Structure 1
Amino acid sequence: MDEAFEVVTDVAEISRLNKQLAKQLRATLQYKENREITYPAGHHTGTVYFEAPAGTSVRAWSPHSAPGKLLNFVLSADPGSTKWIEIAVQLNFPEGSYNRRMAGAFVRDGSGDIFVAHRGKLTKGNAGLPKGKVFREFAASTVEASDNGKISRVILIAGLKAPDLADRLWEFAEEAREVATRLGEELHGDGQGQSTGGPLSGGTVVGGPGGSAGASAGDADGQPPASPAERLLTLRGYFDEYSGEGRTKGHGGGKRTVEHGAIVRALERLLRSKGRSQKAQAVDLVIVATSKIDLFEVKTTARTTDVYTGVGQLIIHGECIKELLGPAVKRYLVLPGEPKASHSRAISSKTDITIVTCQKKGSKYQFTGLN
């Protein structure tokens, strides 16, 4: 059964949950300074809470308020410095009256647990990025939730009471920077664009330099593109098309969805040097190299239904990708433990799928079986 997610829309409850978020962050970020915080729309002097009293690029957070908004600035800076601090990510919530224009959201899953979430509003420099493309990049942790009579897509970041809330939040901020840079290059070539509003509109500011020019997705006459860069974008186009099918509501609950996204993220970071990383709503991770393609499906349990589903997804998606790109596709099923022995034998001997196991060690993930 699909898991039901619901955005919290009562402004009094949002205010209460925002205070709880502040309490959680203050427990981790205990060193207080007054610092100048800057963003494309301006700057202000605010209270900044650092994780450590000294260091370089120390995690920090600054709460702020503006008319109709509860603002949370996620930062990384040097304590004790006089340099202005650029915002990495904002988690802003509505105050006074409810609206969906804020970048942050609190989401309740079917078990009643509350999660901190993001609405996919990212900017690169002064330019807003298409939310559909942002959700594509965060596909492993994106869910649909009822939202005051509508359905909204949101990216689940962490449980509000999770002990690793701060870790998850700054991991999201780091990935948001990377996503904004990639999309900026894809859309504008230099990663920049025309202004569509500053951070106080509720979007997320992501800094960093731009990169090389992006490639065309295909020829005007509809023929398959020839260059490697264009072939990669054809694969990305296939993902876009596939991600529009159906309504993904999660992977069995908010905790599983967050864990699923974290595993995919850890796997991608481990393997990104081996090729170009690709992912989508229906495909967890693809690593595209010159002569081969590695396709990964991640499941957060080794239950029979998840194993069956994962095998089917790998077979179907693998054939589609091979048909489009040509190189052989190596398929990997990532599980938290070994499946039943009979299933393991059948998978390895009949489907040419490699089983990879994943274990969490502290805040990190370790993978066994990659080759």
Structure 2
Amino acid sequence: MNWVGRYQTRYDLQITVELNTPYQNRVDRAGGFFVKDIDSGQVYLMHSGRIGGGTKGVGRLAFLTWLDEVPDEVVDASGHFKDGFIVMPVQGVGAAASLKRYLEKIAEFKEWVRTGAAGTPSFERKQQKFLAYYKEARGRRKGRRSAKIDYVSRHGDVVDRLNAWRSGHPVPKGQAIVKNALIDLGVGTENALSEIFEVKTSCCRGDLYTAIGQLMVHGSSSSCKRHLVIPNEVDALPNDILLTLKLQDIQVIRYDLKPRSVELLI
């Protein structure tokens, strides 16, 4: 059991939240779990955001709505999605600073609930709005990712497959297929692009926002054909994202990752 909270000399010790972690496998009853960043190798403690406390109004949905933050999404060893908040790295200078912030937020939320604000019509409307957004962001997944495939590290494979596909089609006279540190793939001259492709390894909002920005910055010409290349892991993108793609004339290309290959769904 990992009970944590504020230390106060004037009162009895109060548990702010339980950061219990399972000994093995995935146990969703335990709010805490460990994740590993595949780029840096750093291990982090995460928490589902599920909190209790005996006070009416204290719960995960209310906390997420009050915090106004969407949990980060990770993939477990079986390839299934799970979300939560990064509480702290397990090592490093100042590692506990983010833990302190998270605990303070939970404590502030519980104090706020005690004022009765969680039961007001305005907060209930905000909660329903957040729930609708959260379901949209999390409810469109197609099954699960393969536990054997590391999507992020396969970014280069997707770009190579895209390059091979585009190389098999005619390129306008005086132009060539280009790739540099700023763009994943493009067609054009040294000074202007007629086509641009941006590859992302997930369909989370953060990646989609970044991709749209990159396409608009580096494919700023009105005649440039912009392409967003994403994994085939959602049935449909959020409506506001779809509207933006339509308004900015950005075409979507999907792909499936195989253990040893990439399939472009074109």
Same fold (TM over 0.5): no
> Which has the larger strand fraction?
1
For the pair shown, the structure with the greater C-alpha radius of gyration is 2
